A and B are shown apart, each in its own frame.
Chain A
């Protein structure tokens, strides 16, 4: 076996050195014969590398040829430009075969890269401390909700129902054992219902969770929301599902967020049928001791050199066990390095430009579709790069047409929202991978 260097001869030699006559002899004490597996595992016999390659290629062929299919769907997972240099650098074994950087002397590459990423995110969202890696946006939002319960010692949370439905579900799952009261904040005309929030907010609310841009792509009036939330001493948790929007939108820290979580998938991560993505979770300095997960800090070594280490470790599970702020251990560090490389390549101007392009091209497509008279607006709200349109034709027919023309169709919003007026409504997403020609083609297909 090519991954197992020791030969049968060597194994025999080693057993002799150990002082046993056979392998069975070695494990008979630990694994009683009565529970040992009789016979072999019933799985397919090993196949060669060539056969394996052919087998997996054939399975992959059962998927559509996604490289050539431009997505008109986002909903928490966005196809963006990923510079080839990033993909190339990520293949360095030094980054992807190593363990969590417990030994700083042998891990400065990983540690410094994570520190740079923390620095980037801190600037983008204007927060003091950034946990670079929770598994994804949903689990990070759930951790933020738990953190708000610990910080306030209250047990009630208000959640916008324009928070990504999977995130909402995950928050409920994580919080269930603590039996908090979770109140859904309804929307009105595509944005959260601010009047309703004024009624719901009370002194006993730990936090209010708002996604921006929201699940419909809408841009919330955060300054106003923040004032209402803080008037009763609650914390504002702001969730970002599309982090590229930070290139043009105001930083959450500048509009009153206390805790920010963000899906970083758009920062150089493949769609990969749903994961691994990554999420940051950030807060203000005064709350850092309640943060879940790992964070990297700067210090010096004995020679006085600037170095990076895992820090504020007294919150973590391997030290605090059941009193830890979270159980998180392995996270998505390689994705952090991907995002650090991505943001370095894209830089100040690149991020702004992509953000700008996404906004403009989404509005361009909306205009075209409205002009075709086959679609109509159901709400009137400002949006970033995702928008809702009601189709006059059956949406299944539309989606079929799009698939035939190599576009991944937009989301049928009724899969997540059951309201009567959301029937036959599509959630479109547009990024820079769709050119003006592509969008013209989409409009043409849909106007016929």
Chain B
């Protein structure tokens, strides 16, 4: 498809500005010569009609959650309710300036304050910061909080334990807090090896970052022992909330002994992923860690009946962003919790766990499970038996696209001999039994195709807007802008006649 630049026609415009009524002001008298750009910066010149058609056409090249099944493991692609969007986009919220006087933003502050209380109850924590913009941002914030907590105690801990099954963000976040990452191996049941954990957990160790259920979709049944081992050595327990969708109303991380919790509001709490954000990665802590939260938090002055931004104080890790929060994401979360109520939240987790186990039960004859046991809200199967037909998990996932479905998460987690060629399926509560049956039927069909016509898979997808991409070329000689493309065309005179512009 053409780029917007290739649709540009000199002299066209797509904006509507008030007339410049400041003829009496001369720009040369406002700005010094050294500051003014000599030439206009060239963007594109297109009309509103051109833009609307261009982006409508682009949108049709995407596959969204409202198009169909989207079972990405550990991503919780659940339905995004439409009422959330409407209420988050009320003018009084969207036009609120972050530095407007507090008396003018009492509504926004009330939502932040109330949501904090709800999340504390749902997770068993004492206080939340709404600042982190995404899961990894929350992880960094959590790590900095733990770091400051120990520094303040003159405790020079510098190692962070992270299971081999953890998301890549966990070790990357710990490294940004300058912790040395120590990997904890999983046992044959896919969960934390307690003997190994006990060996590794020492007084130089900050603690353990744990996802529960973990990224294979399995609950750490030894959570009580894990908690004892970590706390016994004075460490802290960090909960990665990526998989909280298996826990609502069933188990609260705070009760299980976690000290720091991050939640992905764009996963468990139904706010849209937006093609990679914005989400929110809010952080909840236990009482002892409240003084270390990023500043400010929202507080309520009960005498004057006013909400206000409270400076957390001298122990705070400081700010992790400009201003306060990804506010509309908080509104959507708040609206969702109020729509669901306690029974609805429980129902969400119960249904998603049943969904995942149902898929596992129906698929395990065709795709060997990484671990043969009941799972949480997602299940991990493997495509390793199809290797002998020359088919990889990648091919299976690409073939799914031909049947109109988004593939599950593949090749993650990866640790041999159990979890290799993995296919991780997360069918959240918003997916019906009929949809799961359809998915199962297609997966079985693909398993037959793998045996009888492997080429169908290795060359898949066939029915998508584009086909498999040449990623190596992209990385070797990066074309990162339209001007790069023009330059390259000039250099190579672009001999390849097949390139379709």
> In whole angstroms, how far apart are the Cα atoms of A49 and B338 in the complex?
10
> In whole angstroms, how far apart are the Cα atoms of A3 and B294 in the complex?
34
Picked from A41, A301, A322, the residue with its CB within 8 Å of the CB of B470 is A301
Q: Which residues of A contact B360 (CB under 8 A)?
A: 18
> In whole angstroms, how far apart are the Cα atoms of A347 and B46 in the complex?
7
> In whole angstroms, how far apart are the Cα atoms of A65 and B501 in the complex?
48
Q: Which residue of B lies closest to A359 (CB)?
A: B30
- Bitwise interface map of B from 263 to 275 toward A, beta carbon under 8 Å scored 1, else 0: 0101000101111
Query: Could you tell me the distance in whole angstroms from the C-beta of B57 to the nearest C-beta in chain A?
Result: 8
> In whole angstroms, how far apart are the Cα atoms of A296 and B479 in the complex?
9
User: Is there an interface contact between B133 and A43, defined as CB atoms closer than 8 Å?
Assistant: no
Query: Could you tell me the distance in whole angstroms from the C-beta of A212 to the nearest C-beta in chain B?
Result: 9
Q: Which of A62, A99, A403 has the most CB of B within 10 A?
A: A99
**Known contacts A35-B255, A99-B276, A272-B93: A347-B32 contact under CB 8 Å:** no
**Known contacts A5-B430, A85-B14, A276-B328: A311-B99 contact under CB 8 Å:** no
Q: What total of A-B pairs shows CB separation below 8 Å?
A: 705
User: Is there an interface contact between A166 and B322, defined as CB atoms closer than 8 Å?
Assistant: yes
Picked from B79, B251, B475, the residue with its CB within 8 Å of the CB of A312 is B475
- Bitwise interface map of A from 390 to 433 toward B, beta carbon under 8 Å scored 1, else 0: 00000000010001000011010000000000000000000010
User: Is there an interface contact between B83 and A53, defined as CB atoms closer than 8 Å?
Assistant: yes
- Whether, in the assembled complex, B218 has its beta carbon less than 8 Å from a beta carbon of chain A, the answer is yes
Query: Could you tell me the distance in whole angstroms from the C-beta of A354 to the nearest C-beta in chain B?
Result: 7
- Whether, in the assembled complex, A40 has its beta carbon less than 8 Å from a beta carbon of chain B, the answer is yes
User: Is there an interface contact between B432 and A6, defined as CB atoms closer than 8 Å?
Assistant: yes
User: Is there an interface contact between B500 and A306, defined as CB atoms closer than 8 Å?
Assistant: yes
Q: Which residues of B contact A435 (CB under 8 A)?
A: 18, 21
> In whole angstroms, how far apart are the Cα atoms of A278 and B460 in the complex?
36
Q: Which residues of A contact B329 (CB under 8 A)?
A: 276
Query: Could you tell me the distance in whole angstroms from the C-beta of B225 to the nearest C-beta in chain A?
Result: 10
- Whether, in the assembled complex, A290 has its beta carbon less than 8 Å from a beta carbon of chain B, the answer is no
Using C-beta atoms within 8 Å of the partner chain, give the interface range for chain A: 35 or more
> In whole angstroms, how far apart are the Cα atoms of A1 and B40 in the complex?
55
> In whole angstroms, how far apart are the Cα atoms of A105 and B62 in the complex?
8
- Whether, in the assembled complex, B374 has its beta carbon less than 8 Å from a beta carbon of chain A, the answer is yes
Q: Which residues of B contact A322 (CB under 8 A)?
A: 171-172, 174-175, 181
Residues of chain B from 12 to 52 with CB closer than 8 A to chain A in the complex: 12-18, 20-22, 24-25, 27, 29-32, 34-37, 40-46, 48, 51-52
Picked from A6, A43, A302, A335, the residue with its CB within 8 Å of the CB of B433 is A6
Q: Which residues of B contact A110 (CB under 8 A)?
A: 62, 275-276
User: Is there an interface contact between B478 and A59, defined as CB atoms closer than 8 Å?
Assistant: no
Q: Identify the stretch in B101-109, B196-204, B417-425, B444-452 within 8 Å (CB) of chain A at 4 or more residues.
A: B101-109
Q: Identify the stretch in A193-201, A337-345, A370-378 within 8 Å (CB) of chain B at 4 or more residues.
A: A337-345
Q: Which residues of B contact A324 (CB under 8 A)?
A: 168, 172, 175
- Whether, in the assembled complex, B290 has its beta carbon less than 8 Å from a beta carbon of chain A, the answer is no
User: Is there an interface contact between B176 and A174, defined as CB atoms closer than 8 Å?
Assistant: yes
- Whether, in the assembled complex, A445 has its beta carbon less than 8 Å from a beta carbon of chain B, the answer is no
**Known contacts A3-B81, A29-B374, A349-B13: A135-B134 contact under CB 8 Å:** yes
- Whether, in the assembled complex, A69 has its beta carbon less than 8 Å from a beta carbon of chain B, the answer is yes
User: Is there an interface contact between A99 and B72, defined as CB atoms closer than 8 Å?
Assistant: yes
**Known contacts A301-B468, A326-B172, A403-B101: A273-B275 contact under CB 8 Å:** no
Q: Which residues of A contact B134 (CB under 8 A)?
A: 135, 328-331
> In whole angstroms, how far apart are the Cα atoms of A81 and B4 in the complex?
21
- Bitwise interface map of A from 122 to 146 toward B, beta carbon under 8 Å scored 1, else 0: 1110001110010111110000001
User: Is there an interface contact between B51 and A177, defined as CB atoms closer than 8 Å?
Assistant: no
User: Is there an interface contact between B276 and A341, defined as CB atoms closer than 8 Å?
Assistant: no
- Whether, in the assembled complex, B122 has its beta carbon less than 8 Å from a beta carbon of chain A, the answer is yes
User: Is there an interface contact between A103 and B407, defined as CB atoms closer than 8 Å?
Assistant: yes
Q: Identify the stretch in A202-210, A227-235, A245-253 within 8 Å (CB) of chain B at 4 or more residues.
A: A245-253
Q: Which residue of A lies closest to B181 (CB)?
A: A322
- Whether, in the assembled complex, B492 has its beta carbon less than 8 Å from a beta carbon of chain A, the answer is no
User: Is there an interface contact between B44 and A344, defined as CB atoms closer than 8 Å?
Assistant: yes
- Whether, in the assembled complex, B125 has its beta carbon less than 8 Å from a beta carbon of chain A, the answer is no
Picked from A31, A326, A409, the residue with its CB within 8 Å of the CB of B176 is A326
> In whole angstroms, how far apart are the Cα atoms of A194 and B28 in the complex?
24
- Whether, in the assembled complex, B221 has its beta carbon less than 8 Å from a beta carbon of chain A, the answer is yes
- Whether, in the assembled complex, B318 has its beta carbon less than 8 Å from a beta carbon of chain A, the answer is yes
**Known contacts A139-B137, A341-B55, A352-B40: A173-B172 contact under CB 8 Å:** no
- Whether, in the assembled complex, B416 has its beta carbon less than 8 Å from a beta carbon of chain A, the answer is no
Q: Which residue of A lies closest to B360 (CB)?
A: A18
**Known contacts A99-B273, A219-B32, A382-B35: A323-B321 contact under CB 8 Å:** no
Q: Which of A61, A164, A345, A356 has the most CB of B within 10 A?
A: A345
Q: Identify the stretch in B228-236, B350-358, B382-390 within 8 Å (CB) of chain A at 4 or more residues.
A: B350-358
Query: Could you tell me the distance in whole angstroms from the C-beta of B307 to the nearest C-beta in chain A?
Result: 9
User: Is there an interface contact between A350 and B499, defined as CB atoms closer than 8 Å?
Assistant: no
Picked from B96, B270, B345, the residue with its CB within 8 Å of the CB of A272 is B96
User: Is there an interface contact between B277 and A332, defined as CB atoms closer than 8 Å?
Assistant: yes
> In whole angstroms, how far apart are the Cα atoms of A309 and B54 in the complex?
19
- Whether, in the assembled complex, B5 has its beta carbon less than 8 Å from a beta carbon of chain A, the answer is yes
**Known contacts A271-B94, A322-B175: A139-B320 contact under CB 8 Å:** yes
> In whole angstroms, how far apart are the Cα atoms of A407 and B119 in the complex?
35
User: Is there an interface contact between A103 and B362, defined as CB atoms closer than 8 Å?
Assistant: no
Going nearest first, the 6 A-B pairs with the smallest beta carbon separation are: A274-B323, A30-B219, A46-B341, A334-B274, A274-B98, A304-B498
Provide a sorted-by-A list of 9 A–B residue pairs whose CB atoms are within 8 angstroms. Answer: A10-B433, A100-B277, A139-B137, A326-B172, A346-B43, A349-B13, A382-B32, A409-B101, A436-B22
Instruction: Please name 17 further chain A to chain B contacts, defined as beta carbons within 8 Å, in addition to the given A45-B342, A272-B328, A302-B469, sorted by A numbering.
Output: A4-B347, A27-B374, A83-B48, A88-B52, A93-B65, A98-B275, A100-B275, A116-B4, A128-B480, A177-B147, A299-B469, A303-B498, A304-B499, A304-B500, A324-B175, A337-B275, A344-B54
